[in-house]
Structure 1
Amino acid sequence: MADSHKGWKICATVTGIIFITILVVLVVLFLTVLKLKQPEIVARPVNLEGFDVVVFPAIRVNVSVGVLITVKNRNYGSFKYDNSTAHISYRGNVIAEAAFEDGMIPARKKHNISASLDILADKLILDSHFRKDLVDVGVLNFTSHTIVHGKGSMLKIFKKKAVSYTDCNISIVVGSQSVDSTCHTRVKLK
């Protein structure tokens, strides 16, 4: 009987040690490798998709700008994004906006989010600075602001929200119909 009791003690001790070891390994994995990380979000330079300006006999403007954001999901779980919008402003007034379609980025993958924004000519022409910028300076300066809301999940249990803010300064040179842009992105985890 004593041998049986001693055998149960050894079995319980070995089982306890194995259980504690597995628990420690899982905690270390979740705190290091499997920890939800910020996605890497890079705004690409804005491209000019269409540009048509007629000054005489009347000012007519048709400008289309493409916005491209690359999201790299560094996690071992998926990253789902939604409620995303892009705005283009001219001297503080919003002159174009677009919504991005919802999507999901699989674990450890890259995904491009793109939108084409058509600038509302009537809002642009009504600005008192537009004619001077167009004719005298020959450069139209815009700013774009893009917000991407997303949620990373690990094993469909652990979830963390993230919001990306991308701001770009865009200069369209009228004579050469070229565009120059610089973008900055910041990500906020919630």
Structure 2
Amino acid sequence: MSSNSEFCDAKDSSVTGIIMLFALTVMKIRTPKFRVRSATFENFNVGTPTNPSFSLRMNAEFGIKNANFGHFKYQNSTVRFFYGLTQVGELVVQKARAKARSTRKFNAVVKLSLANAAAAANTQLGNDLSSGVVRLSSKSKLNGKVELMKVLMKKKSTDMNCSMEIVTATQQLWNIVCKSTATGDGRNPLPSSPILGRSRPNPFRQNSLPLRRFRKTGFDLPGQVAGVERAAPLVGAWGQRPRKRIQISLYVLKGIFGISKPISNE
């Protein structure tokens, strides 16, 4: 008996360790990074320090780095380029999907121009043309959702803020420095539902229709639905503490594999 007990304890410890590792790595949702990687130029025209202006076409390469174990689907967005506080160009980023644990790279062309600007801006541009370096910045906000294992989806937003320098003598872009920050929308994660069917209701919502129907029967909930129901109070705390992520991961795994036995607190 003692050997069987030790074997069960070792097995339970292994399962607990696997669940903890799963919750702290796979189930942790990270903010994707959106940035300018490089660029080349065409129709490169710049003015003089006494008559400052510039007009050029930039073929920029962008990158969306997704460090999550699930896809990141993002919506259409706009990238705006600035010289100082003056907008000098913009382009549209089409909606797409960045695969799990990868960086999606794509190119886009934008026309950048500044002419007949305010006197203060012209003064600074004249100084930059004298030094041979024109400093630009780019800003954008990318809204999307991270989907984990087709079970959990969470909305994620990232702000891109890049600074860069154009060397007029060589017509090259260099010294690109980008910062991607999470803005968040304060909403709870929205799970999709292969467990309860393909209509994709929200099974973690405590008053969802499937749960109300099962409550009216007066019988015990099936393991799949019961696991989802027990996870409902924990969803609001998702991302706050690793312990909550572990509990949610455990209930989701129990629901997927149809285990109806309650979790022991011993």
For normalisation by structure 1, the TM-score amounts to 0.69
Cα distance in 1 for partners of 2:100, 2:130 equals: 51
What is the DSSP-based 3-state SS (H/G/I as helix, E as strand, rest coil) of the residue aligned with 1:75?
coil
| Partner residue, 1:31 | 23
Match of 2:115 among 125, 133, 138: 125
Retained in 1: the 8 A contact 2:52–2:126?
Answer: no
Match of 1:158 among 136, 148, 152: 152
What is the DSSP-based 3-state SS (H/G/I as helix, E as strand, rest coil) of the residue aligned with 2:76?
strand
Q: Please, which runs of 5 or more residues in structure 1 have no aligned partner?
A: 1-16
Q: Could you give the per-residue CA deviations for residues 28-71 of structure 1, whole angstroms, max 9, x where no partner exists?
A: 46522331421552634442322422659x98743122333323
Q: 5 Å matches for 1:78-97? A: 78-97=71-90
**Aligned-pair distance for 1:94?**
0.9
For normalisation by structure 2, the TM-score amounts to 0.52
**Aligned-pair distance for 1:125?**
0.8
Cα distance in 1 for partners of 2:34, 2:170 equals: 27
Q: Could you give the per-residue CA deviations for residues 106-138 of structure 1, whole angstroms, max 9, x where no partner exists?
A: 33333114322211x3xx111133462465343
| Partner residue, 1:100 | 93
Q: Please, which runs of 5 or more residues in structure 2 have no aligned partner?
A: 1-7, 185-266
Percent identity of paired positions between Structure 1 and Structure 2: 19
Q: Is 1:111 aligned with 2:104?
A: yes
| Partner residue, 2:68 | 75
Give the aligned length: 170
Q: RMSD of the TM alignment (CA)?
A: 3.5
- Call closer, same or farther: CA 1:36–1:85 in 2, change over 3 Å: farther
Higher relative contact order (CA 8 A, sep 6+): 1
Cα distance in 2 for partners of 1:160, 1:143 equals: 29
Q: Say which structure is richer in helix.
A: 2
Retained in 2: the 8 A contact 1:46–1:65?
Answer: no
- Call closer, same or farther: CA 1:36–1:153 in 2, change over 3 Å: farther
Cα distance in 1 for partners of 2:28, 2:77 equals: 21
Q: Say which structure is richer in strand.
A: 1
Retained in 2: the 8 A contact 1:39–1:71?
Answer: no
